[in-house]
Structure 1
Amino acid sequence: MVRAALLLCFAALLFPQSARAQLADWIDPRPGAAGLDLTGAQVVTAPGDAEVVTLAAEDLRRDLATVTGKASGGNSIWAGTIGKNPAIDRLIASGKFDAKRLAGAWESFVIATVERPSPGVPRALVIVGSDRRGTAYGIYELSRAIGVSPWHWWADVTPLPQRNLHVRPGTHRFGPPSVQYRGIFINDEDWGLTPWSATVFEPGTRGMGPKTYAKVFELLLRLKANTLWPAMHKISPAFNANPENARLADRYAIVMGSSHAEPMLRNNVGEWTADTHDYDYGKNPQGVRAYWEERARSNGQFESIWTLGMRGIHDSGMQGAADMPTRKRFLESIFADQRAMLARHLSPQVERVPQVFTPYKEVLDIYRDGLAVPDDVTLMWPDDNFGYIRRFPTPAERRRSGGAGIYYHLSYLGAPLSYLWLSTTPPALIAEEMGRAFDLGANRMWIANVGDIKPGELATDYFLSLAWDVPGTRALGVAKWTERWAAENIDASQAGGIAAILAEHYRLNFIRRPEHLQWWLPGQKARQSPLSIAEADARLAAFDRNLWALGPIAAAVPPPRQPALFELLYYPLGAAIAANHRVFAAEAHDRLRDTDLPAALARAAEAREADREIAALTASYDKLANGKWRGFLAPEPADGQWKSFRLTPPALPTATPQGLAPAKVAAPAPPRDVSGGPSLDLRTVSGSWRVVTGLGRNGLVLASRTAASVVGAAAIDLPAGRWRATVDLIPAYADADGAPLRLILRIDGKAYPLEAPRETGNAAWAQAVLDNRIAVEVPASIDSGNHRIELTADAGGVLVEAIRFEIHD
Structure 2
Amino acid sequence: MHAFARLCRILISLLASSFLLCSPVLAQSSPHDDWISSVVLPGSAVISDASKPTQIVLADGDAKVVQLAARDLATDLERVTGRHAHISSPSAIKSTSLILVGTLGKSPLLDQLVAAGKLDIGNLRGAWESFVVASVTAPMPGVDNAVVIVGSDARGTAFGIYELSQAIGVSPWHWWADVAPEKKAALYMAAGTRRFGPPSVRYRGIFINDEDWGLHVWAANNFEPEHKGIGPKTYAKVFELLLRLKANTLWPAMHAVSPPFNQLAANAALANDYGIVMGSSHAEPMLRNNVGEWKAAPESYNYVSNADGVRAYWEERLRSNGGYENIYTLGMRGIHDSKMQGPKTDIERRQVLETIFSDQRRLLNKYVNPDINQVPQVFCAYKEVLPLYRQGLQVPDDVTIIWPDDNFGYVRSFATAEERKRAGGFGVYYHLSYLGAPLSYLWLSTTPPALIWEEMSKSYDNGARNIWIANVGDLKPAEIGTEFFLQMAWDMQRWPLAQLSTYLRQWAGREFGATQATEIAAIMSEYYQLNYQRKPEHLQWWLPKESPRPSALSPDEITQRLAAFTQLQSRVGKVGKQLRADQQDAFFELVAYPVQASALANLRYFETERGNRAAAINADQQLQTINAHWNGPLAAGKWRGIMAAEPADDQWKSMRISKWQAPATDIVAAAPVAPVAPVAPPTASVVAMEAEQFQHQRANGSMRWELIPGLGRTGAGTMALFPTTAAAIPLAQAASTAPRLDYEFTLDGTDGAGNYQFSAYLIPTQPLSGTVLELAIAIDDGAPQLVQLDVKDGSAEWAQGVLNATRIASTPVGTLAAGKHQLHVYGIRPGIVVDKIVLHQGKLSSGYLGPVSASRN
TM superposition score category, shorter chain reference: over 0.9
In the alignment, is the contact (CA less than 8 A) between 1:111 and 1:172 conserved in 2?
yes
Amino acid in the other structure paired with 2:65:
V
Distance 1:163 1:476, change over 3 A: farther
- Mapped to 2, the partners of 1:125 and 1:689 lie a distance apart of 45
Q: Which runs of 5+ in 1 are unaligned?
A: 1-21, 590-602
Give the equivalent residue in structure 1 for 2:717: 700
Distance 1:34 1:164, change over 3 A: farther
Give the equivalent residue in structure 2 for 1:646: 656
Which of 49, 70, 79 is the equivalent residue of 2:62?
49
Which of 616, 626, 630 is the equivalent residue of 2:640?
630
- Mapped to 1, the partners of 2:186 and 2:498 lie a distance apart of 28
Structure 1 residue 195 displacement after superposition: 1.1
Structure 1 residue 751 displacement after superposition: 2.9
Give the equivalent residue in structure 2 for 1:19: none
- Mapped to 2, the partners of 1:670 and 1:424 lie a distance apart of 22
Question: Is 1:607 paired with 2:616?
Answer: yes
In the alignment, is the contact (CA less than 8 A) between 1:193 and 1:632 conserved in 2?
yes
Partner SS for 1:526: coil
Which of 555, 576, 583 is the equivalent residue of 1:533?
555
- Mapped to 2, the partners of 1:650 and 1:715 lie a distance apart of 46
Which of 155, 168, 184 is the equivalent residue of 1:162?
184
Partner SS for 1:43: strand
Question: Is 1:244 paired with 2:258?
Answer: no
Partner SS for 2:227: coil
Question: Is 1:674 paired with 2:668?
Answer: no
Structure 1 residue 130 displacement after superposition: 0.3
- Mapped to 2, the partners of 1:119 and 1:33 lie a distance apart of 20
Superposed CA deviations along residues 450-487 of structure 1, whole A, max 9, x for unmatched, are 00000000000000001100012225623211111011
Question: Is 1:739 paired with 2:771?
Answer: yes
Give the equivalent residue in structure 2 for 1:62: 75
Question: Is 1:774 paired with 2:807?
Answer: yes
Distance 1:631 1:655, change over 3 A: farther
Give the equivalent residue in structure 1 for 2:541: 519
Answer with 498-507 or 423-432: which moved more: 498-507
- Mapped to 1, the partners of 2:656 and 2:788 lie a distance apart of 31
- Mapped to 2, the partners of 1:347 and 1:679 lie a distance apart of 61
- Mapped to 2, the partners of 1:472 and 1:370 lie a distance apart of 37
Answer with 35-44 or 669-678: which moved more: 669-678
Give the equivalent residue in structure 2 for 1:4: none
Which of 483, 493, 497 is the equivalent residue of 2:505?
483
Structure 1 residue 776 displacement after superposition: 1.8
Structure 1 residue 778 displacement after superposition: 2.3
- Mapped to 1, the partners of 2:117 and 2:790 lie a distance apart of 61
Give the equivalent residue in structure 2 for 1:800: 834
Superposed CA deviations along residues 517-536 of structure 1, whole A, max 9, x for unmatched, are 11110001110101122210
In the alignment, is the contact (CA less than 8 A) between 2:713 and 2:805 conserved in 1?
no
Amino acid in the other structure paired with 2:496:
R
Partner SS for 1:679: strand
Amino acid in the other structure paired with 2:232:
P
Amino acid in the other structure paired with 1:626:
A
The within-5 A match list for 1:420-435 is: 420-435=442-457
- Mapped to 2, the partners of 1:478 and 1:452 lie a distance apart of 26
- Mapped to 2, the partners of 1:31 and 1:94 lie a distance apart of 27
Distance 1:788 1:777, change over 3 A: same
TM-score normalised by L of structure 1:
0.93
Give the equivalent residue in structure 2 for 1:729: 762
Amino acid in the other structure paired with 1:67:
V
Answer with 743-752 or 610-619: which moved more: 743-752
Answer with 799-808 or 164-173: which moved more: 799-808
Which of 785, 790, 801 is the equivalent residue of 1:752?
785
The within-5 A match list for 1:253-292 is: 253-292=275-314
- Mapped to 2, the partners of 1:796 and 1:772 lie a distance apart of 19
Structure 1 residue 33 displacement after superposition: 7.2
Answer with 325-334 or 476-485: which moved more: 476-485
- Mapped to 1, the partners of 2:475 and 2:680 lie a distance apart of 37
Give the equivalent residue in structure 2 for 1:9: none
Answer with 548-557 or 81-90: which moved more: 548-557
Give the equivalent residue in structure 1 for 2:172: 150
Give the equivalent residue in structure 1 for 2:13: none
In the alignment, is the contact (CA less than 8 A) between 1:304 and 1:354 conserved in 2?
yes
Which of 460, 463, 485 is the equivalent residue of 1:463?
485
Distance 1:397 1:367, change over 3 A: same
- Mapped to 1, the partners of 2:783 and 2:804 lie a distance apart of 30
- Mapped to 2, the partners of 1:805 and 1:718 lie a distance apart of 11
Question: Is 1:122 paired with 2:132?
Answer: no
Amino acid in the other structure paired with 2:708:
V
TM-score normalised by L of structure 2:
0.88
- Mapped to 2, the partners of 1:636 and 1:358 lie a distance apart of 28
The within-5 A match list for 1:209-220 is: 209-220=231-242
Structure 1 residue 762 displacement after superposition: 1.0
Partner SS for 2:191: coil
Structure 1 residue 34 displacement after superposition: 5.7
Distance 1:252 1:491, change over 3 A: same
Give the number of equivalent residue pairs: 770
Structure 1 residue 121 displacement after superposition: 2.5
- Mapped to 1, the partners of 2:420 and 2:766 lie a distance apart of 19
In the alignment, is the contact (CA less than 8 A) between 2:411 and 2:765 conserved in 1?
yes
In the alignment, is the contact (CA less than 8 A) between 2:690 and 2:835 conserved in 1?
no
Answer with 669-678 or 482-491: which moved more: 669-678
In the alignment, is the contact (CA less than 8 A) between 2:537 and 2:646 conserved in 1?
yes
Superposed CA deviations along residues 400-454 of structure 1, whole A, max 9, x for unmatched, are 1101000000000000000000000010000000000000111000000000000
Superposed CA deviations along residues 592-621 of structure 1, whole A, max 9, x for unmatched, are xxxxxxxxxxx2211111111111111111
In the alignment, is the contact (CA less than 8 A) between 1:541 and 1:671 conserved in 2?
no
Partner SS for 2:495: helix
- Mapped to 1, the partners of 2:39 and 2:575 lie a distance apart of 26
Partner SS for 2:785: strand
- Mapped to 2, the partners of 1:681 and 1:771 lie a distance apart of 17
Which of 87, 97, 101 is the equivalent residue of 2:109?
87
- Mapped to 2, the partners of 1:684 and 1:586 lie a distance apart of 36
Distance 1:631 1:72, change over 3 A: closer
- Mapped to 1, the partners of 2:578 and 2:606 lie a distance apart of 32
Answer with 122-131 or 30-39: which moved more: 30-39
- Mapped to 1, the partners of 2:839 and 2:288 lie a distance apart of 54
In the alignment, is the contact (CA less than 8 A) between 1:734 and 1:795 conserved in 2?
no
Amino acid in the other structure paired with 2:705:
W
Superposed CA deviations along residues 204-252 of structure 1, whole A, max 9, x for unmatched, are 2121000000000000000000000000111111001111100000000
In the alignment, is the contact (CA less than 8 A) between 2:556 and 2:679 conserved in 1?
no
Amino acid in the other structure paired with 1:652:
A
Structure 1 residue 492 displacement after superposition: 2.0
Answer with 799-808 or 630-639: which moved more: 799-808
Partner SS for 2:576: helix
- Mapped to 2, the partners of 1:674 and 1:609 lie a distance apart of 29
In the alignment, is the contact (CA less than 8 A) between 1:97 and 1:114 conserved in 2?
yes
In the alignment, is the contact (CA less than 8 A) between 1:41 and 1:64 conserved in 2?
no
- Mapped to 2, the partners of 1:746 and 1:662 lie a distance apart of 48
In the alignment, is the contact (CA less than 8 A) between 1:407 and 1:448 conserved in 2?
yes
Answer with 483-492 or 149-158: which moved more: 483-492
Q: Which runs of 5+ in 2 are unaligned?
A: 1-30, 87-95, 699-703, 730-738, 844-857
In the alignment, is the contact (CA less than 8 A) between 1:605 and 1:655 conserved in 2?
no
Q: CA RMSD in A?
A: 1.7
* Higher relative contact order structure (alpha carbons within 8 Å, sequence separation ≥ 6): 1
Give the equivalent residue in structure 2 for 1:790: 824
The percentage of counterpart residues that share the same residue type is: 51
- Mapped to 2, the partners of 1:774 and 1:234 lie a distance apart of 36
- Mapped to 1, the partners of 2:33 and 2:460 lie a distance apart of 27
Amino acid in the other structure paired with 2:64:
E
